[in-house]
Chains A and B, each alone.
Chain A
Amino acid sequence: MSRLALRPDARHVGLSHDARRCKKNMTTPNELIRNFSIIAHIDHGKSTLADQFLLKTGTITAREFQNQMLDAMDLERERGITIRMHPVTIYHQYQGKTYELNLIDTPGHVDFSYEVSRSLAACEGCILLVDSFQGVQAQTVANAYLAMEHDLTIVPVLNKIDLPIARPDVVIAEMEQALAITPAEVLRASGKAGIGIEEVLAAIIERIPAPKGSADDPLRALVYNSHFDTYKGVVVYVCVKEGTLRKGQRIRLLRDGTEHDVIEIGRFRPGMTPCEELAAGQVGYVMAQIKTLGDVHIGDTVTDALRPAAEALPGYKEPKAMVFSGLYPVNNQDFETLREALGKLRLNDASFTYMPENSEGLGFGFRCGFLGMLHREIIQQRLERHSSLDLVQTAPNVTYEILTRKGEILVIDNPQKVPDPGQIEEFREPFVRISFLLPSENIGDLMQLCTERRGIYLRTEYLSPARAILAYELPLAEVIYDLYDKLKSVTHGYGTMDYELIGYRPADLVRLDILVAGKRVDALSTIVHRVFADRRGRKLVKKLRGEIDRHLFAIAIQAAIGSRVIARETIAPIKKNVTAKCYGGDITRKRKLWAKQAAGKKRMKQVGQVEIPQEAFLAVLETDQ
């Protein structure tokens, strides 16, 4: 319920009160500031805990809390996950002093680990939140390691301690085993019931170091996020590391050297609340009449144009799209509309990429890159929600590398770009190191799953007799589509996973083509391992036979590698489909029925004479091997 409470653009919330407070605390000394994140596995109650901080510190009232819940990103609410970072500044009285606590929320899903890393760079510490029933999960481990890499102080907290099924001792033992956390440091809380919140706030103040850096140094502020506001332009989220950021100041973005005048600065309380300045250690936002998100690079450094800092802060790696798929308008004349829609989406999501491409079968469309499958799904849903376009999406693929006989390296983000086998010296695919956290009893099933997917076993590590971490190296292509679902099904929902890219490796890969009615449908081509090609081809044509409706003529569906056909199925033509009675009263009814059926056909993609439904383009993903 709570992930909405941190929405930054809820300006109506307690503005005047906040503005006063903001001014009064304009010059909070460093030692009274704490910047922290909450890291957790998805559903471990991160946002609920954050809401409790807001309530307990009077940042919002219970009534406002309710109001805010109503205005939020509907996709996040539906999916129950946090995608974007929602920062907030809260003030807390502790031992007679007022502390400024800047909370930077993080997303919990595996596709968005990049965003977690961004948030952590703006902090000195973090709360590691673990569900006291579910225990340590794959993202708990992954996020904790990320925090350690950033040298952050970790405050371990067990959440949902009030649940009758909580098993704190077992989970604390897991935390000790997996993350070397000292049991005595672990706090117990319940975000839902409001238990232990004071203790957690106290631990943030006592254990997490205050930010270093002086308000008098030349300005260096880290850009850790941004969003686009239709009325105000780009809102840049910053963490001031050194110096002071003031309204009216002329700032420079170090990477491109562009300069802007600061129109407004402020904090997230949680609505955007203007203030006069942000000094070293403080977190907030800057608006400087920047027109597009493309002009602001996440990880860039903001400095004073008149008194610039010599060096930029250590930035971030650019987010790298790992999964690609083609996106085509069903009607070719919608191409420009689709381009506009994609452009709008990218305004608020720089991690998503798109390039025009052309398919023989599908016409003009775009090759889009995503952080992962969840990201891909979210983008697709946003597109459908905000435009009335009928779209066809091709099966996702990863980026391959090909070393040609001439010694060139080709980057292949689309099976259609695979050159002739004769030109290929080496075909390489991306590998990931993947950790599964799962009940010990399912280890056998999961190992089998990984073996079928060309996995290389690394190790098993037991957190307790009942739970283990299983580590594998797997081709990313075998991971992206349904491994997560398979893991969930093998472990009855108890397994979790996390992965990181480890590089490219040579593999015996081929392009598997599909011919429909004698015509190669380039959008149905896939890259597969040679060993699996025959079986995959047979399965695929069988699957396609079921996905493509019968037509007025027979349709051959073939799978081929190069010119060699390895499988064939035939879709028989429609033999009889005729309405017996069509008299006066039937005409309207029939026309409506036919119009409905014809509209259904319109959503299909016409390839030659054959109508291919969207499902068929995804059939290539069905990898039940």
Chain B
Amino acid sequence: MKGTRQLDSPWLHPRAAYVHIPFCLQHCSYCDFAVVAGRDERIDEYLDALGCELRGLQEPHPVATLFVGGGTPTHLNCVQLERLLDLLATWLPLEPGHEYTVEANPETLTDDRIALLASHAVTRLSLGAQSFSARVLTALTRSHHAADIRRSVTRARERIDTVSLDLIFGVPGTTLADWRQDLDETLSLGIGHVSTYGLTYEKGTLLWKQKRDGQVHALDEQTELTMYEHSMDRLQSAGFEHYEISSFARPGRRCRHNQVYWANHAYLGFGLGAARYVNGTREVNTRDLATYLDRCRSGRSPTMQSETLSPLDRARETLTVQLRRAEGIERMSFHAQTGFDLDELAGATIRRLVELALLADNGISVRLTRRGKCVADSLTLEFLK
């Protein structure tokens, strides 16, 4: 792969890598990621297996962005964390001007760990804050408190360039006032990046079961809408750019790694349940820990799913993914990337949605309007049908 690398085709050849660390203190009520709670004795074995998987690269693969997510990567103790960071430094060396993100939970972000991350060139911390309200944190079965958030942000900012906060809105029983307060608290920390996620009830999660059984009730659509619109208003007036449906950043603070996903560009992926997109083929690793360990240690691939889309399906996918970005779909680059002319592919639908003021089209690119952002999934369906 390295020999034929073409820097001008980032949708085929990855310069981004994702590494998954599934371990957590506990399994949160809303989370459907590949996580492993209460199995800390397997962490060392996991790092062994991850090493085996990385060795499959055969030689180090330099990357411009690296993202370590979870789970809770900072759930690892300092020895394990250092082992992980060393392993990644060996196999996924960073290019100059890199972005290196690690996800963390506020209560795990001790000074030791911060120091360790900083010394390994981590440039970005993504903190799973979710809320400052004790009631909401309980509903989400989070194990931290508002004070942990404030403390960890303050300490992290001393050593690490960018700190981002993840927040969840639309939690059952909350009101617009709760959400306003969460945003105000967040802004008071002076950070450069915020992600706001409307709560979704993912099948199989505790919250999904509670909702199914009538123990919790989803907020009504109007309240969720008002909350989302408030996020846009409040954060934009505080100087943040709304650069993707759920992502807000001060100028220069956008997450470059996530933008790879929304451009539908290529990326590598390692670890339990990790996804990768290389040379037009999407692959996903097994989500079962035992299988993952077993496969990696015996030198086999942990890949469970693989698919290569037709050029047309790939173009459609690119369209729907790029639509999430503030810059939207840029006609020239869309054609270069997919081989399809945007207007031939979807001209009629674009015109119809522009008429409904859900899309804006300046002739060069097509973007979601504010109202379009609120119904982006419905717009996607219009393009797929």
Contact = CB atoms under 8 A, between A and B. Distances in A.
Contacts of A578: 198, 228, 245, 373-377
Contacts of B374: 575-578
Interface string B146-173: 0000000000000000000000000000
B208 interface: no
B292 to A, nearest CB: 15
Given A552-B356, A588-B284, A594-B320, A575 B221 contact: yes
A492 interface: no
Nearest to A602: B385
Interface in A570-619: 574-585, 587-588, 590-591, 594-595, 597-598, 601-602, 609
Interface in B199-234: 199-200, 221-222, 224-225, 228
B261 A575 contact: no
B200 A577 contact: no
A145 interface: no
B307 interface: yes
Contacts of B385: 598, 601-602
Contacts of B380: 594
Among B197, B324, B356, B380, residue most surrounded by chain A Cβ atoms (within 10 Å): B380
A577 B228 CA distance: 11
A574 B378 contact: yes
B381 interface: yes
Interface residues of A, number: 25
B50 interface: no
B269 interface: yes
B358 interface: yes
Contacts of A609: 352
Nearest to A579: B377
B267 A584 contact: yes
B356 to A, nearest CB: 6
Given A575-B225, A601-B385, A584 B275 contact: yes
Nearest to A597: B381
A595 B309 CA distance: 13
A543 B38 CA distance: 52
Nearest to B168: A580
Contact of B358 (A552, A575, A580, A585): A552
B376 to A, nearest CB: 4
Contacts of A575: 221-222, 225, 374-375
B277 interface: yes
Interface string B51-75: 0000000000000000000000000
Interface string A538-565: 0000000000000011000000000000
B379 interface: yes
Given A575-B221, A579-B377, A584 B317 contact: no
B384 A576 contact: no
Contacts, number: 99
B299 to A, nearest CB: 24
Interface string B76-99: 000000000000000000000000
B261 A583 contact: yes
A80 to B, nearest CB: 37
B171 to A, nearest CB: 12
B375 A581 contact: no
A584 B197 contact: no
Contacts of B276: 584
B381 A584 contact: no
B317 A587 contact: yes
Interface in B344-382: 352-353, 356, 358, 373-382
B70 to A, nearest CB: 12
A588 B275 contact: yes
B273 interface: yes
Contact of A579 (B200, B222, B317, B356): B200
Interface in B305-327: 305, 307, 317, 320-321, 324
A576 B375 CA distance: 5
A490 B373 CA distance: 52
Given A577-B375, A577-B377, A584-B269, A595 B261 contact: no
B262 interface: yes
Interface string A326-339: 00000000000000
Given A585-B274, A587-B321, A609-B352, 6 more contacts: A576-B221, A576-B374, A577-B374, A578-B245, A578-B373, A590-B320
Closest 9 pairs between A and B when the two form their complex, measured CB to CB: A598-B384, A585-B275, A580-B197, A576-B225, A598-B385, A578-B376, A584-B275, A601-B385, A577-B377
24 contacts: A574-B378, A575-B221, A575-B222, A575-B225, A577-B374, A578-B245, A578-B374, A578-B376, A580-B197, A580-B199, A581-B200, A582-B324, A583-B258, A584-B269, A584-B274, A584-B276, A585-B284, A587-B261, A587-B282, A588-B275, A588-B282, A594-B384, A598-B384, A601-B385
